[in-house]
């Protein structure tokens, strides 16, 4: 029998449902799972959500095994086969710009046959008193191929290490070097030690203990706790729901409603009379039969109802929601609303009703069934009212989640049904999409949102009275906040990935909108969490499409000042384009409505498509597109053909994360590199895979001409990047003459970029849009992630921002954060350091002359915001 190549153990995942999904996926793909709490030598892969103080993690590191995140199995399940492990390898973030991979160095050495384990050649005398701990350390050392002996050792054995816990005079008196057990971690991770609960502080000598105190570990803990609390707080607060009736507080009067004649009224066509009867029977605890309301909704959709009837029906539904809120009631009430709020004909749930309402307000097309047309104003307003009603209901569900701990503390609670049974979950996520923010339904909502933005913000005041885009933005904010609240405590990285996927998808959908519409869109987002990621994604997309590359490091105040501010000069000099969408999206359907089967995209014949090279849409098993393969083979004609096609993604990545530029630099395809660099927008030159940038790739493979070309294009900023071994590109070149050539090329690149910085603004709308986005980004970042007092004067010595500023005035950022392992704490420290730099006016060199001289309203406002930051930084320094 062939041996299994994927044998898994799992560490750090306590939720049984998540573990069951992973185990099912492992067996589905032909792998094997081994349970238990101790490390097994036959393991090939360890699954863990993060770096953990566990035996299995340290043993897998010492043995050179793969240590991957759960996404490796989940993404492989979607792919249908095992993906490359590299992109899913667990990392420790030691700074804002680099990630330390603790397992990779040992795994690569073991794979290449250089060693058999991290402790190869060690002959260890293990002196640990507690039996269970001694057994654990023994297994850990043997995983790294050490020989372990008990005290006393055999006479013929030469001991290389004495491992003791605690370190005693007896252990020191032996004729071998004596180490505390923390030396195991120091050997595995070097200076990036982890707190693995070995009681290292007790084992270290007093001098080392003092150095640890100088590492500001207490300050890191405070920053980490602050970041966790701020991230987990509720964002959207709806005070209008605080006065709603408590369903557990008995109503003072007995309500007896006679609804026996309503059915016959509806059958006889007396719908107005039936509505009046229902209106008089709406009281707390009284729910009219769902069939009556469904019949009235169906009547409203036919287009024969008067405006007065539609307004009265909407008011009845609002009163029903106020008097019988489902978010405070039993599950039967939730089922009641789920039955009523759906299309009476399709009966497919709430989303088809919402989608039909949105599409009818937009274009009167692509509805679930034919509607009267052309669009009737009364029916359009009715659908807008129904959207507002559904939004009100979903807001209430979010409110019940956020205020569950303080609503009606002295009253018995409603049955705390799981969030998975809520209308929000049932509407926007299927059972298999619960861990994915960007579900199929959410994607449809984002597409409809961009169409609504075009209609309301670009077509003038004709459609603005509908406020459809505002309603959809509020709806998106509610569902994003609800999903994040449910998943943050369980898996913060999942929340970050979900927000990133959603924001980047929206940025791609809206990239053809004119700059004014983009600004209007982001201004109206109410959720600060959502606004932050959306503005960031849209601004990066705007920069990329105009030839300015921005790194993919996490967002911070330092990144905004040092990476985003210089982009304004490029936006100001960018040529104007007339290809923005300013009208509504065309549809091939008639005004009478179409079925849902008519949503297939229309393929338009064009000369570009006719000239597309063969195999354009074919991706191989490694995820390589035709552009990847052409760059590897230096087929420059094919590359030029692909780049000439509209919509070509020059930064497309294969399964391992390599871009076409990486492949061209790796294989010495000089002409392909030149073609990629001349493409607009230019490829991202700072993108790294496992620490390898395109410049690193070129130098590692001896392609000096390509390296010089990259530096002449982007300048000396590329020389500041470090790889996984913390080597800069110049460290990879041994010959002094070659290093001088690279430096000259970098200087030429810097000069060329400086010459592009002119005071004349060639594209004022784009500069104004970029300035507005940056201003929103700064304010959203401070509100969402910033420290208290970072943008306000009058700080006090006990505040975190003051403590950080005092530490950074005496020590460098690297020294303060040298022992920190929490990425959020490091970013907060960088924010304070950036504020101190702003106080000295160092940010002014990052702002282009064009932006400084521009008198546009948004650009002037951004400059004032930077001046306020500078003033706050000066006030902070003055208080030190």
Of the pLDDT bands very low, low, confident and very high (cuts 50, 70, 90), residue 774 is very high
Q: Quote the tokens at residue 298.
A: 């169906």
Question: What does each C-alpha distance from 603 to 435, 588, 609 come to in angstroms?
Answer: 33, 12, 10
SS3 content of the chain, % helix, strand, coil (to 5): 55, 5, 40
Nearest to 55 by CA among 240, 184, 187: 184
Predicted local distance difference test score (pLDDT) of residue 245: 53
CA dihedral sign, ordered 728, 733, 739, 742: negative
Residues in the chain: 880
Q: Is 347 helix (H, G, I), strand (E, B) or coil?
A: coil
Mean pLDDT of the chain: 78
Angle at 358 between CA 356 and CA 361, to 5 degrees: 105
152: preceding bond cis by omega (within 30 degrees): yes
Q: Rounded CA gap, 347 and 338, in Å? A: 10
More confident residue, 554 or 168: 554
Contact 311, 387 (CB under 8 A): no
What's this model's pTM, rounded to 2 decimal places?
Answer: 0.60
What tokens does 82 get? 């095992």
Could you tell me which of 238, 226, 227, 230 has the C-alpha nearest to residue 402? 238
Higher pLDDT, 125 or 175: 125
What integer pLDDT is reported at residue 608 of this predicted model? 43
Q: Is the pLDDT of residue 598 over 90?
A: no
Residues 220-247 pLDDT 10s:
788 888 888 888 788 877 766 655 555 4
Going by their DSSP bridges, the two strands 92-93 and 99-100 should be labelled as antiparallel
Q: Which of 143-147, 213-217, 515-519 holds the top average pLDDT? A: 143-147
Please give the helix or strand (H or E) that residue 148 lies within, else none: strand 147-149
Q: What is the pLDDT of residue 772?
A: 92
What is the DSSP annotation of 608-629?
HHHTPPTTTT---TT---HHHH
pLDDT tens for each residue of 660-689: 998 999 898 888 998 888 876 678 888 888
Over range 396-404, report the average pLDDT: 78
Residue 297: pLDDT band with limits 50, 70, 90: confident
Q: Which residue has the higher pLDDT, 48 or 574?
A: 48
Split at pLDDT 50, 70, 90, the class of 496 is confident
pLDDT band at 479 (very low <50, low <70, confident <90, very high): very high
Q: What is the percentage of the chain residues whose pLDDT exceeds 90?
A: 8
Written as six digits, the tokens of 827 are: 């970013």
pLDDT value at position 330?
72
Which whole number is the average pLDDT over 725-737?
82
Tokens of 275: 């509505």
DSSP element (H, E) containing 456: helix 440-458
Which pair of structure tokens corresponds to residue 87?
Answer: 């992109």
Contacts of 558 (CB under 8 A, 6+ apart): 96, 830, 831, 833, 834
Pick the residue with more confidence: 620 or 617?
Answer: 620
Q: Does the structure show a pLDDT above 50 at 437?
A: yes
83-95: average pLDDT: 74
Q: Other CB atoms closer than 10 Å to residue 480's CB: what's the count? A: 27
pLDDT at 213: 37
Q: pLDDT: is 755 or 207 the higher one? A: 755
What is the pLDDT at residue 45? 92
Average pLDDT over residues 825-834: 87
Cα 509 to Cα 5: distance, rounded to the nearest angstrom: 41
- Provide, rounded to the nearest whole percent, the portion of the chain with pLDDT above 70: 80
pLDDT in tens, 691-710: 788 988 888 888 899 998 88
């Amino acid at each position: 029998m062939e041996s299994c190549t994927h044998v898994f153990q799992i560490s750090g995942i306590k939720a049984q449902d998540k573990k069951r999904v992973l185990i099912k996926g492992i067996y589905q793909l032909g792998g094997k799972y081994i349970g238990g709490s101790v490390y097994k030598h036959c393991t090939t892969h360890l699954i863990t959500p993060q770096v953990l103080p566990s035996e299995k993690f340290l043993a897998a590191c010492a043995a050179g095994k793969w240590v991957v995140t759960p996404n490796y199995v989940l993404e492989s399940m979607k792919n249908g086969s095992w993906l490359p492990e590299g992109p899913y390898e667990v990392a420790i973030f030691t700074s804002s710009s680099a990630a330390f991979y603790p397992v990779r160095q040992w795994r690569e050495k073991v794979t290449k046959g250089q060693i058999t384990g991290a402790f190869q050649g060690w002959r260890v005398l293990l002196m640990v008193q507690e039996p269970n701990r001694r057994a654990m350390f023994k297994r850990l050392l043997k995983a790294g191929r050490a020989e372990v002996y008990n005290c006393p050792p055999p006479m013929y054995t030469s001991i290389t290490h004495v491992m003791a816990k605690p370190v005693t005079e007896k252990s020191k008196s032996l004729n071998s070097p004596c180490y505390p057990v923390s030396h195991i971690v120091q050997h595995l991770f070097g200076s990036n030690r982890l707190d693995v609960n070995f009681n290292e502080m007790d084992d270290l000598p007093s001098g080392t203990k003092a150095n640890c105190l100088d590492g500001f570990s207490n300050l890191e803990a405070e920053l980490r706790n602050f970041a966790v609390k701020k991230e987990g707080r509720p964002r959207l607060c709806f005070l209008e729901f605080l006065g709603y009736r408590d369903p557990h507080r008995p109503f003072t009067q007995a309500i007896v409603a006679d609804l026996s004649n309503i059915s016959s009224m509806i059958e006889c066509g007396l719908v107005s009379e039936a509505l009046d009867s229902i209106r008089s029977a709406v009281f707390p605890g009284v729910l009219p039969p769902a069939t009556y309301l469904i019949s009235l909704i169906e009547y409203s959709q036919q287009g024969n109802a008067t405006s007065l009837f539609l307004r009265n029906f909407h008011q009845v539904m609002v009163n029903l929601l106020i008097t019988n809120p489902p978010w405070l009631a039993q599950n039967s009430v939730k089922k009641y609303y789920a039955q009523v709020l759906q299309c009476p004909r399709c009966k497919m749930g709430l989303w088809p009703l919402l989608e039909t309402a949105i599409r009818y307000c937009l274009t009167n097309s692509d509805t679930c069934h034919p509607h009267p047309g052309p669009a009737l104003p009364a029916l359009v307003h009715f659908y807008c009212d129904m959207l507002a009603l559904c939004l009100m209901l979903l807001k209430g569900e979010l409110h019940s989640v956020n205020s569950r701990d303080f609503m009606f503390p002295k009253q018995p609670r409603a049955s705390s049904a799981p969030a998975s049974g809520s209308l929000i979950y049932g509407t926007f996520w299927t059972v298999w999409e619960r861990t994915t923010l960007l579900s199929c339904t959410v994607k449809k909502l984002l597409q409809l949102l961009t169409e609504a933005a075009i209609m309301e913000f670009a077509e003038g005041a004709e459609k603005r009275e509908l406020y459809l885009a505002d309603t959809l933005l509020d709806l998106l904010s509610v569902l994003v906040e609800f999903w994040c609240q449910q998943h943050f405590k369980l898996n913060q990285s999942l929340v970050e990935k979900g927000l990133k996927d959603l924001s980047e998808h929206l940025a791609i959908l809206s990239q053809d909108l004119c700059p004014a519409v983009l600004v209007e869109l982001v201004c109206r987002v109410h959720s600060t969490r959502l606004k932050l990621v959306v503005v960031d994604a849209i601004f990066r997309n705007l920069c990329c499409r105009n030839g300015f590359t921005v790194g993919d490091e996490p967002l911070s105040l330092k990144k905004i000042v040092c990476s985003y501010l210089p982009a304004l000069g490029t936006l100001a000099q960018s040529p104007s384009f007339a290809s923005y969408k300013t009208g509504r999206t065309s549809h091939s359907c008639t005004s009478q409505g179409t079925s849902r089967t008519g949503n297939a995209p229309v393929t338009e014949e064009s000369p570009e498509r006719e000239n597309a090279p063969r195999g354009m849409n074919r991706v191989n098993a490694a995820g390589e597109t035709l552009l990847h393969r052409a760059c590897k083979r230096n087929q420059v004609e094919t590359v030029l053909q692909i780049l000439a096609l509209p919509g070509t993604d020059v930064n497309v990545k294969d399964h391992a994360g390599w871009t076409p530029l990486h492949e061209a630099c790796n294989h010495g395809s000089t002409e392909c590199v030149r073609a990629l660099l001349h493409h607009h927008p230019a490829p991202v030159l700072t993108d790294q895979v496992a620490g390898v940038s395109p410049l690193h790739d070129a130098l590692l493979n001896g392609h000096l001409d390509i390296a010089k070309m990259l530096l002449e294009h982007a300048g000396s900023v590329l020389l500041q990047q470090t790889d996984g071994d913390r080597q800069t590109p110049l460290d990879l070149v041994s010959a002094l003459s070659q290093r001088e050539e690279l430096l000259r090329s970098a200087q030429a690149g810097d000069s060329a970029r400086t010459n592009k910085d002119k005071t004349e603004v060639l594209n004022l709308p784009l500069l104004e849009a970029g300035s507005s986005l940056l201003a929103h980004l700064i304010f959203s970042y401070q509100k969402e992630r910033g420290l208290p007092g970072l943008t306000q004067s009058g700080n006090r010595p006990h505040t975190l921002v003051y403590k950080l500023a005092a530490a950074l005035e005496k020590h460098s950022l690297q020294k303060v954060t040298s022992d920190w392992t929490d990425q959020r704490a490091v970013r907060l420290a960088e924010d304070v350091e950036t504020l101190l730099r702003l106080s000295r006016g160092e940010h002014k060199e990052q702002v282009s002359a064009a932006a400084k001289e521009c008198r546009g309203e948004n650009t002037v406002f951004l400059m004032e915001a930077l001046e306020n930051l500078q003033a706050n930084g000066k006030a902070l320094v003055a208080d030190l």
